């Protein structure tokens, strides 16, 4: 076993959430007769929390209007929380890999910039029975990734050390978070920002290659 603690990103790493996110933002945009976006465009907007997602989806002249963004965000959240897992699915092989890691005694956690309730609901729904050390979303009092605070909090809760730990993610944000926290990183090729994730210490093209890094 190479690592004792694996910290996964959520959206774009464990789960393909892009369609549900995009549909929810488009719902809020359509209420205001604003231009809509497709999934390919939303892949370039996600990764820094839902408020930033909503801002990026707006026309430039509206993205700086705090009250307008607040209103958009409220409509997005109302819709998304009711439709959070309509199209969302685990990436191929990830359910089985998480189960094998748990069975092998590897500690598991999630560090996401998704709002906390959404992160918890999705992890519970798609990975039931897995005893994650922490499922950390955008929680009050902790900054978003790439600040290392969330990963360091997970490491502390596990009783392990950064040297025991690896972070797995699909974006440069995850790579930068890992570096700032002093942990190794593995980028994955199937997420939203795979080119940026290629800067990681290791790079996995599929779940089988990822398993080799984690359990090989």
Is 9 tagged catalytic? yes
pLDDT of residue 196: 77
* Residue of 9, 16, 75, 153 marked active site: 9
CATH level 2 (architecture), domain 18-82: Orthogonal Bundle (1.10)
CA 199 from chain centre, in angstroms, equals 17
Closest C-alpha to 27, from 68, 79, 67 = 79
* Domain layout of the chain by residue ranges: 5-16+89-215, 18-82
Positions of E strands within the chain: 5-8, 15-16, 89-90, 107-115, 135-138, 165-169, 184-188, 202-204
Q: What is the pTM of this model?
A: 0.95
Give me the CATH code for the 5-16+89-215 domain, please: 3.40.50.1000
Closest C-alpha to 214, from 101, 81, 138, 116 = 101
C-alpha 57/C-alpha 55 separation (Å) is 5
pLDDT of residue 47: 87
pLDDT of residue 144: 94
Average pLDDT of adjacent 10-residue blocks, the chain of 216 residues:
93 98 99 97 93 97 97 98 98 98 98 96 98 93 94 98 98 96 97 86 97 95
């Amino acid at each position: 076993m190479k690592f004792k603690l694996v910290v996964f990103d959520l959206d774009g790493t464990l789960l393909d959430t892009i369609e549900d996110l995009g549909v929810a933002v488009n719902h809020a945009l359509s209420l205001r007769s604003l231009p809509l976006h497709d999934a390919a465009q939303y892949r370039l907007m996600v990764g820094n929390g839902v408020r930033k997602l909503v801002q990026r989806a707006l026309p430039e002249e509206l993205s700086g209007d705090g009250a307008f963004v607040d209103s958009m965000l409220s409509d997005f959240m109302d819709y998304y929380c009711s439709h959070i897992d309509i199209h969302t699915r685990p990436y191929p092989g990830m359910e089985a890999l998480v189960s094998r890691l748990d069975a092998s005694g590897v500690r598991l956690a999630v560090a996401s910039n998704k709002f906390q309730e959404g992160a918890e609901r999705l992890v519970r729904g798609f990975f039931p029975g897995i005893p994650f050390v922490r499922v950390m979303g955008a929680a009050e009092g902790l900054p978003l990734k790439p600040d290392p605070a969330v990963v360091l909090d997970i490491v502390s809760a596990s009783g392990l050390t950064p040297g025991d730990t690896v972070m797995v993610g699909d974006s440069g944000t995850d790579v930068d978070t890992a570096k700032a926290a002093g942990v190794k990183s593995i980028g994955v090729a199937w997420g939203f920002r795979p080119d940026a994730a290629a800067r990681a210490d290791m790079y996995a093209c599929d779940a089988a290659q990822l398993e080799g890094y984690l359990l090989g």
